Amino acid sequence: MAIKVGIPRGLWFYDYYPLWKTFYEYLGAEVVLSRPTNKQILDMGVKNTVDEACLPVKVFHGHVIDLKDKVDYIFVPKIMSVYEKEYICPKFCGLPEMVFHSIKDLPQLIDVEINFNKSRKNLEETIYKFGYYITRDKEKIKKAYEKALENYSNYKMKLRNGYLPIDGKFVDFNNKLDKNIRSRIAIVGHTYNMYDSYTSMNLFNKLKKDKVDITVPEMIDFEIINKYANELEKKMFWSFGRKLLGSSMYFAQVQNVDGIIYISSFGCGIDSIIQDLFERNARKQGKIPFLLLTIDEHSGEAGINTRIEAFLDMIEWRKRNEGNLSAHG
């Protein structure tokens, strides 16, 4: 029987899962995904995490619990850094430990450290370590990684073309040619907040139904983002923050959107800085309307709906120049 590897549907899932799924499947393992986030998963996560942790970390714990009796290994890598001189959030760095000490009776965790902060030289070694859980065959692991990389770049290409992985399934948001479009809105935030339709309260589909064209940072060319991010006074050391700040500067300069919605989870340390700088860029320099939606396990959908509706109305009035409404939402 094939070895079962469980991949939790949380945190880095929306950024990297095609890579790891292909990788382990090529090596002959069976990859099991946890179910899309639902109330039960969230509740389990909340129960088994310290109060102070942010919503996505709680949700992630829920997904691990959802998987723990179904698989032989759970994939919880220790992602420290994916680019040189950059980091991921501290909670990502300590994620395997958090999971290990919070949840009882776990199967073995695949908790290999990914750290390219100093250089990428250890890439090969890291890949082997991931593969050793399934096979000792280095050649095969290498091939699996190549295959995975290929699949991963296809995935990113699809994102760029407007297919977004809502709960891990592609939904087409590429409706630029639709004549009935009311407005064009950028949705920004951490991928795990945006694409998890349970925690984002189905924001994407709501906007689509309202005939809004959606842009996300994943659709912008990475080189353009890098170009803008390089103008920052001090190097942004969070890879995710760098992407967001770069795109905020892009939006402010190019002004190709009517408004920006930022989804942030309560208590997110990265957002407390990025969101603030992002907002300053968008509002002051770009004069683009900005809406911040802060979510946590107590968020009510009705309140969020009201805020989105009001925001869309405001944009429409603003477009018709009714009273020249301020950009301060």
Partner 1 sequence: MKVTFPHMGNQYVGTKVLLEELGVDIIIPPKCSKDTLNTGVKYSPESICLPLKVNIGNYIESINMGADTIAITGSCGPCRFGYYSVLQKELLKEAGYDIDVILLDPPQGDYKLFFERIFKLTGTKNPYRIIKALKKAYNVLKAVDDLEDMTYYKRPREKVKGSVDKYYDTFHKDVRMVYGYKAVSKLIQETKERILSVEEDPNRDVIKIGIVGEIYTIIEPFVSLDIEKKLGNLGVEIDKSLKVSRWLNEHLFMHPLGLSTEKETWESAEPYLKTMVGGHARETIGYAVRFAKSNFDGIIQVYPLGCMPEIVAQSILPTVEKDYNIPYLCLIVDEMTGEAGYMTRLEAFVDLLRRRKETFKGEKLLSGY
Residues 36-75 that bind partner 1 (CB under 8 A): 49-50, 52-53
What is residue 171's three-state secondary structure? strand
Query: Which of 241-250 are b and which e, b meaning 16 or more Cβ less than 10 Å from the residue's Cβ?
Result: bbbbbbbbbb
**The only residue of 22, 102, 215, 248 in contact with partner 1, by rule CB under 8 A:** 102
Radius of gyration of the chain (CA): 20
DSSP assignment of 100-116, as one string?
A: HHHSSS--EEE--EEE-
CA neighbours closer than 13 Å in the CB half-sphere of residue 305? 8
Report CA-CA distances (Å) from 295 to 56, 206, 265: 10, 16, 5
Tell me, residue by residue from 157 to 196, as one string, x for binding to partner 1 by CB under 8 A and - for no binding.
----------------------------------------
Shortest Å, Cβ 241 to partner 1 = 8
Distances (CA, A) of 289 to 127, 156, 205, 326: 44, 28, 21, 8
The closest alpha carbon to 254, from 322, 180, 184, belongs to 184
Cβ closer to partner 1: 3 or 232? 232
- Our CB check for partner 1 shows the closer of 24 and 238 to be 238
Among 30, 32, 91, 132, binds partner 1 (CB under 8 A): 91
Q: b/e per residue, 3-35, with b = 16+ CB within 10 A?
A: bbbbbbbbbbbbbbbbbbbbbbbbbebebbbbe
Binding segment for partner 1 among 37-45, 79-87, 253-261, 295-303 (CB under 8 A)?
79-87
**CB-based burial, 177-197: b 16+ in 10 Å, e otherwise:** eeeeeebebbbbbbbbbbbbb
Within 107-146, the residues that bind partner 1 by CB under 8 A are: 113, 115
Minimum CB separation of residue 8 from partner 1 in Å reads 16
Interacting positions 237-296 with partner 1 (CB under 8 A): 237-238, 264, 266-273, 275-277, 280, 294
Closest distance between partner 1 and the C-beta of residue 319, in Å? 28
Residues in the chain: 329
Minimum Å distance from CB 130 to partner 1?
16
CB of 75 closer than 8 Å to CB of 148:
no
Look up residue 250 and give its two tokens.
């892009």
Scanning 29-37, 85-93, 152-160, 175-183 for contacts with partner 1 by CB under 8 A, the matching segment is: 85-93
Among 4, 30, 46, 94, binds partner 1 (CB under 8 A): 94
- Give the shortest CB-84-to-partner 1 separation in angstroms: 11
Site for partner 1 in 9-38 (CB under 8 A): none
For residue 260, the minimal CB distance to partner 1 (Å) is 17
DSSP string, 61-107: HHHHHHHTTT-SEEE--EEEESSTT-B--HHHHTHHHHHHHHSSS--
Residue placing its CB nearer to partner 1 in the complex, 65 or 88: 88
Residues whose CB is less than 8 angstroms from the CB of residue 221 and which lie 6 or more positions away in sequence, other chains included: 160
State the minimum distance, in angstroms, from the CB of residue 264 to partner 1.
Answer: 8
Return the number of the residue (47 or 143) whose C-beta is nearest partner 1: 47
Q: How many residues in the shown chain lie near partner 1 by CB under 8 A? A: 42
Shortest distance in whole angstroms from residue 64 CB to partner 1: 13
Q: Interaction with partner 1 in 299-318: which residues (CB under 8 A)?
A: none
Binding site for partner 1 (CB under 8 A): 49-50, 52-53, 78, 80, 85-91, 93-94, 97-98, 101-102, 113, 115, 232-238, 264, 266-273, 275-277, 280, 294
